[in-house]
Amino acid sequence: MLLPQLDGLDVLTVEGISQGGELHPVQKLLVETDGTQCGFCTPGFVMAMYAFAQSTEPRNDAHIHEALAGNLCRCTGYRAIVDACKKIPLPDFDPTSGASERGEDALRYASGEHLFFSPQSVDELLKLRAAHPDAIILAGGTDLGIRASKEREHFPKVIFTGKALGLGEVRDDKNALVIGAAATYTDALPLIDKHFPAFGALIRRIGSRQIRNLGTFAGNLVNASPIGDTPPCLIALGAEVMLASTRGERTLPAEQFIIGYRKTALAKDEVVVAIRIPYLAKGARFETYKISKRFDQDISATIGAFYANGDEIRIAYGGMADRAKRAANVETLLQVGTPSLIKIEVAMAKDFTPLSDHRASKTYRLRAASGLVQRFLFEAGGAQSTRIEAL
């Protein structure tokens, strides 16, 4: 994270959770279960456990694994760490009551030649954007942060969306779910789960809790990476992107918003203010399947998103082209019946010429992507299938 993102927040580190020489219960548990070996990963695990200790989630494997997915141990110590988590007592206070407050004044932070703006309203955000078209827009920073910490890149001008009032809202709007541009994955998850359970299951595989607490839907979309996980889903769901500038507002279908490799239709003075996902009509189906080497914290080799409502079919993929893109030939094929795998593969090869890279070969990507279509058809036909999420 960039330093000014922390404005108005408390920072708690592993050094700060034990009081007067007395270990915090999660620290004590980790010592007692022999949950440390080389110890290098331990502070991270302690803090993930500390966060878990603040929640009322059941202390079972599923929840513990999700809570710990953002931390790696290389000394084969997970069993002991999970054992420690099982013994974490439930909190004796309401963990939702301590929400942090937003600052009153717009923050303008300068360090040397670096400028960081933290607008407090959407209006102010639009004005700043108009005045500084060369600034980088920072939402969660889960992508940008790597450029700063790993590539040691400097960003002369940054406009942070996280403090703009109303921009972080997630709300029901008649026939659609509206996700504000500053809303994180975690913010939107409850309503996503309610309306689009398959999308919710996918979101739980994006990064880890730590990442989902920072990363935003809008950030993922504007990033326009060909291997982003939400763009294919948003395209298949027929989502719209709401854009604004001091000149006014406009709305674009997600499909038209991404125009190329890491390229969007955003004008220089424009920002995304919200994403609008129409609710599924009665009888409509939406599914998405992610293929990656690891369950959590991994980038997709390919991801398929499938929407079907009668003969209205939208199929979009990530990892298959220079951007998240619809599979037009496959869609046409599905409109006329239930094709064989070979026919799907032929259509898929017309739609995409994927790259071979360290995540997957071209052949693997084409075959896996075709297999996902078949999976969608099987499931639509009522076949019982095992979801990776259930394993």
Partner 1 sequence: MSRQLGRIRGGVHQPVKHDSARGHVTGSALYIDDVPMPPAGLEAALVLSPYAHARIKKIDFTKALAAPGVIAVIEASDIPGKNDIGPIRPNEPLLPEALAEYEGQPIAAVAAVTLDQARAAAKLVKVVYEVLPAVLTIEEALKNESFVSPVQTMARGDLKAAFGESKHRLAGEFRAGGQDHFYLEGQIALATPGDSGDIHVLSSTQHPTEVQHGVAHLLGIPFSAVTAEVRRMGGGFGGKESQATLIAGIAAVLAMKTKRPVKLRLSRDDDMRATGKRHPFLIRYDVGFDEAGRILALDLLLASNGGNVADHSPAVMTRALCHSDNAYWLPTCASAAIRAKPTRFRTRRFAVTAARRA
Closest contact distance (angstroms) between CB of 113 and partner 1 is 15
- Residues whose CB falls within 8 Å of the CB of residue 105, separated by 6 or more in sequence, listed in order: 120
Which CB, 19 or 100, lies closer to partner 1?
19
Which CB, 14 or 115, lies closer to partner 1?
14
CA angle 278, 283, 288 (to 5 degrees): 65
Closest contact distance (angstroms) between CB of 222 and partner 1 is 26
Residue with tokens 């990892």: 319
CB atoms within 10 A of CB 97: 6
Closest contact distance (angstroms) between CB of 6 and partner 1 is 19
Could you list the residues that contact partner 1 (CB under 8 A)? 13-15, 18, 23, 27, 30-32, 34, 36-43, 46, 72-76, 150, 152
Which CB, 56 or 76, lies closer to partner 1?
76
Which CB, 39 or 98, lies closer to partner 1?
39
CB atoms within 10 A of CB 295: 14
Which CB, 152 or 282, lies closer to partner 1?
152
Which CB, 72 or 281, lies closer to partner 1?
72
- Residues whose CB falls within 8 Å of the CB of residue 151, separated by 6 or more in sequence, listed in order: none
Whole-number Å distance between alpha carbons of 363 and 278: 34
Closest contact distance (angstroms) between CB of 31 and partner 1 is 4
Closest contact distance (angstroms) between CB of 315 and partner 1 is 34
Whole-number Å distance between alpha carbons of 290 and 286: 14
Element (H, E) at 186: helix 185-195
Whole-number Å distance between alpha carbons of 251 and 179: 14
Closest contact distance (angstroms) between CB of 76 and partner 1 is 6
- The closest of 279, 292, 348, 343 to 316, measured between CA atoms, is 348
